[in-house]
Structure 1
Amino acid sequence: MRRLLLLIVLAMAALATPATATPATPARTLSVLSFNIHHGAGEDGVFDLDRVADEIRRTHADVIGMQEVDRHYGERSDWADQPAELAQRLGMHVVFGANLDLEPPSAGQPRRQYGTAILSRHPILEWHNTLLPKGKPAEERRGLLTAVVNVRGVQVRVMNTHLQHDSAASRLLQSAVVADAVVASKEPVVLTGDLNAVPAAPEITTLTAHLRDGGNAYTYPADVPTARIDYVLTNGLPLFSKVLPTAASDHRPVLTALMVRRAR
């Protein structure tokens, strides 16, 4: 924590301008968590949404990008509306992108959905979900969930995705679409995601050509991680990043503090 505070102070000092100079573009610090919640089940196989909420709460993150989120999906998650329930438990705003949208188990029941979600302490001004290309027809549909968040007067574009787990070629197709969205953004960008690839892979370098990566620790599997596949990337300034232990999922969450400037 002392290191985090020192980095924030140094970054603020670097961004300050003398009274006689043109005022600096407003900057904001933001803490961001990327968390594949494995539909609320830990490696013990137990579904426990309270456990997920407790772990998120302890991070004090401002924005959380979650992957593998169920919405009335099935018995594995007690048919819960996970985005709404987590938002209620944490007192946060939420948006959800349904990448799988299936018929309900019976007439009059909610549709069975699975995808990604963004939680935010700050107001969400707009959002949309873009379905990403498949390399093969049989692959699971993936998406890019995007929300514009008002961070104390500075608009930040938060993106959240979960790339194909078993095909580098498909991930490369998907990451190219994500990279195009990053380049097109008029707002500073924060990208969270389970990208299912290590930092040196082409599908990751496609993104880090435009975004900074402040992390360096393994995230998967949760008990004894041997690979880094979960990320928080930004075209702002990463200040501090930490991978956290978890009992609530099979992925470890990534917590990053960063600074973003309002676009000129």
Structure 2
Amino acid sequence: MKRLLPTLLLLAAFTFTVTPAQAHDRPTTLRVATYNIHAGAGSDNVFDVDRTAEAIASLDASVISLQEVDVHWHSRSQWRDLATELATTLDMHIFFGPIYSLDPTTPGAPRREFGNAILSSYPIVDAKNHEITRLSTQVPNPVPEPMPGFPEVEIDVNGTPVHVYSTHLDYRPDPAVRQAQVADMRRIMRCDHGEPQLLLGDFNAPPEAPELRPLWRKLSDVWAKSGQPDPGYTYPASAPDRRIDYIAASKRFKVKSAATPTTLASDHLPVVAELTLR
């Protein structure tokens, strides 16, 4: 027995010093999604935030980008704080990045805000609300100018920092503003020094749109990489005929699968993907 004791101590030391490193090096499967929630209104234009929460929960994703999120914004969403309500219901961390933050219509009421949000089951280590070029819908005769609403979070995925961005690009037929927005996003995302990145959102343009091409120089269109024969149409939800919602991933991710689950909880379909973080 005395002869075995040093060997057992050596094995114990080996277990505690080597195994954590090996676990850290193993690929991590990450389930991510993007969903334009239409301010909590379904394809029937009926506001029902419980229905929205159920649709998001059914995605079973640990990282979710949301667009068209109202926070005390309008009577259409009963002046409710959808960001906080959804995070509480889903038991997830959240960062909300307003595009608009306006004075309340009633003195003493909360500020009226509308924008994008990121939900995460992983801890949020850092968060920023970046500015990109926008053409405001809230002022007469708007001109393109820097405005907030491009939120970024850094999450800790089993010890690996991952940067997640949520975006909603301009909807107008003229691609000029979207072109400027793509340039802005690429400039901002270059600051992460090779760490894994996810760009999720409603791009309001089809995959072949010229203004989106610069994105694909450094990021992969997850749907295109998934090998799905389905075109992945996401809008309108009741009879989708175009793909305008995207999950884009940096080279540290490998695509396992992608889907557009059927739901009428919004006028868009969500996109969900399983990725391997290498």
TM-score (structure 1 length as normaliser): 0.86
Aligned residue for 2:236?
Answer: 221
Aligned residue for 1:177?
Answer: 184
Residue 177 of structure 2 aligns to a residue in which SS? Answer: helix
Aligned residue for 1:256?
Answer: 273
Aligned residue for 2:142?
Answer: 138
Corresponding letter in the other structure for 1:55? A
Q: Is the 8 A contact 2:98 2:148 kept in 1?
A: no
Q: Is the 8 A contact 1:212 1:234 kept in 2?
A: yes
Determine which of 203, 208, 213 is the counterpart of 1:195: 203
Aligned residues: 241
Deviation of 1:182 after TM superposition, in Å, equals: 2.6
Q: Is the 8 A contact 1:28 1:154 kept in 2?
A: no
State whether structure 2 residue 161 is matched by structure 1 residue 155: yes
User: Could you tell me how far apart the structure 2 residues matched to 1:135 and 1:42 are?
Assistant: 26
Residue 143 of structure 1 aligns to a residue in which SS? Answer: strand
Corresponding letter in the other structure for 1:118? I
RMSD: 2.0
Q: Is the 8 A contact 1:101 1:111 kept in 2?
A: yes
Q: How does 1:16-31 map to 2 (within 5 A)?
A: 25=25, 27-31=27-31
Residue 97 of structure 2 aligns to a residue in which SS? Answer: strand
User: Could you tell me how far apart the structure 1 residues matched to 2:275 and 2:187 are?
Assistant: 22
Corresponding letter in the other structure for 1:138? P
User: Could you tell me how far apart the structure 2 residues matched to 1:243 and 1:199 are?
Assistant: 16
Q: Is the 8 A contact 2:129 2:150 kept in 1?
A: yes
Distance change (3 Å), C-alpha of 1:26 and 1:181? farther
User: Could you tell me how far apart the structure 2 residues matched to 1:88 and 1:211 are?
Assistant: 32
Corresponding letter in the other structure for 2:210? P
Aligned residue for 2:245?
Answer: 230
User: Could you tell me how far apart the structure 1 residues matched to 2:188 and 2:148 are?
Assistant: 15
User: Could you tell me how far apart the structure 1 residues matched to 2:275 and 2:161 are?
Assistant: 14
Corresponding letter in the other structure for 1:220? Y
Residue 68 of structure 2 aligns to a residue in which SS? Answer: strand
Aligned residue for 2:262?
Answer: 245
Corresponding letter in the other structure for 2:171? H
Deviation of 1:25 after TM superposition, in Å, equals: 4.8
Residue 132 of structure 1 aligns to a residue in which SS? Answer: strand
Q: Is the 8 A contact 2:117 2:166 kept in 1?
A: yes
TM-score (structure 2 length as normaliser): 0.82
Distance change (3 Å), C-alpha of 1:134 and 1:58? closer
User: Could you tell me how far apart the structure 2 residues matched to 1:126 and 1:143 are?
Assistant: 16
Residue 133 of structure 2 aligns to a residue in which SS? Answer: coil
Q: Percentage identity across aligned positions?
A: 40
Corresponding letter in the other structure for 1:71? V
Unaligned runs of 5+ in 2: 1-17, 224-230
User: Could you tell me how far apart the structure 1 residues matched to 2:222 and 2:90 are?
Assistant: 26
Unaligned runs of 5+ in 1: 1-18
Q: Which range moved further: 83-92 or 235-244? A: 235-244
User: Could you tell me how far apart the structure 1 residues matched to 2:114 and 2:143 are?
Assistant: 14
User: Could you tell me how far apart the structure 2 residues matched to 1:205 and 1:143 are?
Assistant: 22
Corresponding letter in the other structure for 1:134? R
State whether structure 2 residue 126 is matched by structure 1 residue 126: yes
Corresponding letter in the other structure for 1:259? T
Distance change (3 Å), C-alpha of 1:157 and 1:114? same
Deviation of 1:26 after TM superposition, in Å, equals: 5.0
